Amino acid sequence: MRPADVPPPANVQVGLDDVMLWGVLPYVVLAVLILGSVWRYRYDQFGWTTRSSQLYESRLLRIASPLFHFGILAVIVGHFVGLVIPKTWMDDVGINEDRYHFFALSVGSIAGFATLVGIVLLIYRRRTTGPVFMATTRNDKVMYLFLLAAILAGLATTVFSVFDAGIVNYRDTVSPWFRSIFIFQPDITAMTAASLSFKIHTLWGLALFALWPFTRLVHAFTAPLQYLFRPYIVYRSRGKRPAPGSATPRGSWAPVGTPDRDRKGTPRT
Ligand code: HEM
């Protein structure tokens, strides 16, 4: 039997801690996520933004941002397939356990690794580019910590499922539990039977979801998808200010009160 093919143990002991973690906590997190987002949207619409730092630095951002965002999009698609679509449905369309694991490991590892490299570069850029660091709040730092932890713990589950022969298949444990939350019948026993690495990753994921409405991550809810494919905004410097009284080159910005613009800023014809 390959790793990650081990069935969940038959006699799972469910304790009070399991009830709290897998039966109560998900609903607390969902409530915080939904109500927190509504509150933030109503009271802080001007703050509902990525707070882009592209103006300060764009060379590293140009590489790190697409790497992270395309990586995380692929990770989200992977989570949807692994957690939401039941194993039996996949079998019915000819994707058996072996095929599923081949795709999950190959595509999942590439996507997870791209996401990790992207976030590490984004954090490095924040720390080393003066103005970007200055624009980084304590809230951002906490958010980066939780985001990085969730990604690292996720990749750890992938590594363990290759090298640890005792790992229980998450499609028999984590996935049924995840689906059961949304029909308000949390399958606590299924999640209790999951391997420790999945439990740790899930808890980091839940923590991140609880923080979500109060951080810059809210921008993900309203991101226009074409944003990913649009060209970068080109910022041009104004160049040297023209000497007072001299004409500015055609098409460039002209300070008010020069031969090109009157005192109100209206171009002179
Ligand atoms: C309740 C929330 C979550 C659950 C139940 C969950 C579950 C899982 C499972 C079962 C895997 C293993 C996939 C495999 O090996 O094929 C995984 C992998 C992973 N997860 Fe999560 N996850 C959650 C939230 C998150 C969040 C919020 C992030 C990042 C922001 C994240 C990032 C990752 C990454 C990077 C991997 C490894 C690469 C991959 O398989 O795509 N997860 N997760």
pLDDT digits (tens, 9 = 90+) for 39-72: 999 998 878 777 787 777 788 899 999 999 999 9
CATH 1.20.950.20 residue ranges of the chain are 21-228
Tell which atom from ligand 1 comes closest to the C-alpha of 74. 41
Buried b (16+ CB within 10 A) or exposed e, 13-33: eeeeebeebbbebbeebeebb
Is the Cβ atom of 151 under 6 angstroms away from ligand 1?
yes
Domain boundaries 21-228, corresponding CATH code: 1.20.950.20
CA–CA dist 116, 67 (Å, integer): 9
Shortest-distance Cα residue to atom 16 of ligand 1: 104
Please tell me the predicted confidence (pLDDT) of residue 239: 64
Structure tokens at 20: 């709290």
How far CA 47 is from CA of 12, 21, 255, in Å, comes to 46, 32, 31
Nearest CA to ligand 1 atom 34: 154
Measured from the Cα of 26, ligand 1's closest atom is 1
d(CA 23, CA 69): 31
* CB-ligand 1 contact for 206 (6 Å cutoff): yes
Q: Which of 21, 152, 157 to mutate to test the pocket of ligand 1 (most atoms within 8 A of CB)?
A: 157
Per-residue pLDDT reduced to its tens digit, 3-42: 556 677 778 999 999 999 999 999 999 999 999 999 999 9
List pLDDT tens digits, range 171-193: 999 999 999 999 999 999 999 99
Span from the CA of 154 to the centroid of ligand 1 (angstroms):
5
Instruction: Indicate the pLDDT class of residue 238, thresholds 50, 70 and 90.
Output: low
Structure token digits, residue 110: 């590439």
Kindly indicate the confidence band of residue 1, based on its pLDDT and cuts at 50, 70 and 90: very low
